[in-house]
Chains A and B, each alone.
Chain A
Amino acid sequence: MDWEYFLELFLGGLTRGSIYALIALGYTMVYGIIELINFAHGEIYMIGAFTALIVATVLSMLGLNQVAILICAAVAAVVYSCAYGFTVEKLAYKPLRKAPRLSALISAIGMSMFLQNYVLLAQTSDFLPFPSLIPDFEFWEPYAHIISSQELVILITTFVVMILLTILIKFTRIGKAMRATAQDKVMAALVGIDVNQVISVTFIVGSATAAIGGVLIASHIGQINFYIGFIAGIKAFVAAVLGGIGSIPGAVLGSLVLGWTESFFTGYISSDYEDVFAFMFLVFILIFRPAGILGRSDTQKV
């Protein structure tokens, strides 16, 4: 067995998985709170990538250095995506809060199509080249082919985001309010929590992580178009279901498992069947654990 190749696939899968995780978190957090699969979430990620592209193009014409561009582009992407996430919830989901769940789901699919076509019309249907914003630097020299500096930056960024998110949810006042709202909305309101505010914050936080994911992937892959949100959204959704939708550690674990599955299958068998392996694995897991790896079946609802 070639350990170097194995390690390369392992780290490749880890990078891929951590990017899925950034998007999957938004799905799982929103589902945890309002039991809605926010199909427009992938589009939020796509809008983040587009915003970053526009800002980066403008700034590089002004001649800023690479790191400054990366930071400005990322901040702009986060702000813009958060604004979209917040607005989508207010426009498309809030009026349907008391409607049957299927209505909100249809509304989410509609929102997804609307945003895709909006970007298609406002921008272009072509693939646009995305500048490589993440700086290349030398490290760990003899083994640099195993993990590139870009991948390292992605891994570290994801790790930092996860830690911040954990702190937010575990220890802050709003984080506690989010957990309480997820467990019982009426009771949460009765201990004085503004449920609408908590839901808005959830959408904003989910959109922010998706936007960060968008900037990282776009910069890593090097091109974007209006459709990337759909593909990435489906993958991240699969990851969230795999881990147990509604559970935050589940989303991260599911994403990593999905990343590794894709990486190892494509590396050892064939890259033509990348998606086939991913979805086959999903089916396999769901047969044995229908609620996902860390999901609990919901039996205690009164």
Chain B
Amino acid sequence: MKPILDVQNLTMRFGGLTALDNLDLDVNEGEIVALIGPNGAGKTTFFNCITGIYKPTGGDILVHGSRKESVRLNGLKPNQVTEKGLARTFQNIRLFPNMTVLENVMMGRHCRTRSGILGAVFRGQATVREEQKVVEDSYEILKKINLARYVDELAMNLPYGAQRRLEIARAMATEPFLLLLDEPAAGMNPQETADLDELIVWIRDTEKISILLIEHDMKLVMSLSDRIFVMDYGKKIAQGTPEEIRCNPVVIKAYLGEEMDA
């Protein structure tokens, strides 16, 4: 299996605080990988470093996408990272609340389209065709993710579960090869979580997008993941298959504290 994301010795310091400490992590093509750890372990910071929101203090973030050569992501801006083929969702929902569901997905197509201001003003052939294509592609994604019936609703009026799915739809619209999901199941009821489980597997199998997710719902993590990385205090404390992680004493200690005997 070929690695598509390869993070080596990633370090992030905020002043005196080391939020990420020499972290190694890799995701192979076609894998679902989970990143878990207690609150404040640095999981979201890790995502922020990879997607260009933070500029890491040290280490390397390498991606080997569909294009031949590998790219180093350190120091790229978020929009450049997205162009390279990584997409993410947030722990707290960050849709464009005053746009319709369709427009939200269309925004995701932004980095894959080109037409400029002049084209739009004069309605050139190419522009009209491109626009038509964007609408069609976006609608197609909504149909796949089962949101087509909300197409013209404002994003803020959607039920919670649907908003979460819309975030994933928008991320998919950027044509990523790796999707980063930050607590996709947070706040979902058991039915919504089950649907999400199905959706994530479907994205991996049918859309051929590898997945790296942060999640606290252990049932979901254990059933979905091919491999799991565990973090605590900015360090990686364990990695392995769900089976290995389940009975790893270090992990149990990190989650339950010292005095509990594993």
Question: Which residue numbers of A lie inside 8 Å of B, CB to CB?
Answer: 164, 167-168, 171-177, 179-180, 183-184, 186-195, 300, 302
Residue of B nearest to A171 (CB): B120
A-B contact pairs, 19 of them (CB 8 A): A164-B121, A168-B117, A168-B121, A173-B110, A173-B113, A173-B116, A174-B120, A176-B103, A180-B107, A183-B99, A184-B96, A186-B78, A187-B94, A188-B107, A189-B77, A191-B171, A192-B79, A193-B79, A193-B107
Whether A192 and B110, one on each chain, are in contact in the complex, defined by CB atoms closer than 8 angstroms, is: yes
A195 partner, pick from B79, B95, B115, beta carbons under 8 A: B79
Using a CB-CB cutoff of 8 Å, which residues 12-60 of chain B contact chain A? 51-53
B121: chain A residues within 8 A (beta carbon): 164, 167-168, 172
How many Å lie between the Cα of A302 and that of B95 in the bound state? 12
How many Å lie between the Cα of A193 and that of B78 in the bound state? 9
Of the 9-residue stretches B81-89, B194-202, B210-218, B222-230, which lies at the interface with chain A?
B81-89
A195: chain B residues within 8 A (beta carbon): 79
Whether A191 and B116, one on each chain, are in contact in the complex, defined by CB atoms closer than 8 angstroms, is: no
Whether A191 and B174, one on each chain, are in contact in the complex, defined by CB atoms closer than 8 angstroms, is: yes
How many chain B residues sit at the interface, stated as a range, is 35 or more
How many Å lie between the Cα of A237 and that of B74 in the bound state? 41
0/1 string, B166-180, CB within 8 A of A gives 1: 000011011000000
CB-based closest 5 A-B pairs: A192-B111, A172-B120, A189-B78, A192-B82, A187-B94
Q: How many A-B residue pairs have CB under 8 A?
A: 88
Taking chain A's interface residues, is the majority helix, strand, or loop, or is none over half, making it mixed?
Answer: helix
B97 at the interface (CB under 8 A from A): yes
Known A-B contacts A171-B120, A183-B98; A193 and B92 likewise in contact (beta carbons under 8 Å)? no
How many Å lie between the Cα of A192 and that of B79 in the bound state? 4
B117: chain A residues within 8 A (beta carbon): 168, 172, 174
Whether B96 and A173, one on each chain, are in contact in the complex, defined by CB atoms closer than 8 angstroms, is: no
